Amino acid sequence: MTQSADNPLIEIHRDDWLLAVHKPAGLLVHRSPIDRHETEFALQYARGLNGGEHVYPVHRLDRPTSGLLVFARDPHTASVLGKAWMAGEVSKTYLALVRGWAPEQGVIDHPLREHATDRRSKDESLPLRDATTRYERLATTEIAVEIEGYPSSRYSLVQLFPQTGRKHQLRRHMQHISHPIIGDTNYGRTRHNHYFAERFGYSRLMLAATGVTFAHPATGAPLMLRCAPEPSFMQMLSIFGEQVPLG
C-alpha cells in the first residue's frame, strides 16, 4: 500500500485496467448537488495517483464510509465492471461497530424505499426495492457505562455482506434489526454516538468497506481485494480488547 503526504487515498491495487484505493471517512467520491460547497473528492485524488490521467468510478461509497473504492482506468473497463456491479456479480464485505449484541449470523431481507432527492422528504409514493444483507457477528463487549438508562452498554462487531446495492442499505438494515451503526447520524442512536465521540475525541461512522471480489474485466480471473480499516476505525475497536487485533 502506498500513500503520498498530499493525497489522502492509499493505493491498494493497480494494473493496466484498474486502480483500487482506500478512501478515508468524510471524503466524497465525486461532486454532488447536495454538497456543492465541497472542493475535495476521491475522484480527483485518484486521478493524481493515475499520473493525472482520467479514472472512472464504477461504484460508490457514502461520504462517511471508509474503505475500498475501485476505479477503472479506461471507459471500456468502466462499462464492463459497472455492469457486473449492477448485476450483483461483485462480492462486497464491510465491517461495522453496532449497538447491542447482534445475533451470531443472519439475513436481513427487508425492501427499502428509494431515497428522495430532498433528505427531509418521506414520500411514501417512492417505490420499494428488494434489499438483502447477510451478516456475521465477530465480537461482543459490554462496558460499564450507563447511556440509555441501563447500568452497562453492549456492542458488537459485525461483518456485513450486501447482496443488493440500495442507498444507505447497510445503515438502514442495521437500524431495522435494532442494531444501528455507531456514528450514524441519520439512522443511529444519538446518545451512543455522543459517547464514542467524547471518549475518542472525534466522530465518524463506524462502517468500513474491507473487501471486494469480482472477475477481472480484462482477464476474467477472480480478483480479490482486501484492505484494513483506517486507524480511526481501529482505535474505536479497542473496546473489544484482545478479541480484535489492533496492530
| Pairwise CA distance, residues 143 & 241, whole Å | 11
62 noted as active-site residue: yes
CA distances from 218 to 81, 88, 110, 226 (A): 10, 18, 35, 20
- Which listed residue (62, 109, 118, 130) is catalytic? 62
Q: What is the DSSP letter of 73?
A: S
First CA to last CA distance, the chain:
16
| Pairwise CA distance, residues 162 & 247, whole Å | 27
b/e per residue 18-42 (b: at least 16 CB within 10 A): bbbbbbbbebbbeeeeeeeeeeebb
Short-list 16, 84, 28, CA closest to 55: 16
User: Residues 157, 95: contact at Cβ < 8 Å?
Assistant: yes
- The angle at the Cα of 101, spanning 129 to 110, to the nearest 5 degrees, equals 10
Reduce the DSSP state of residue 9 to 3 states and report it.
Answer: coil
Which residues are annotated as catalytic?
Answer: 62
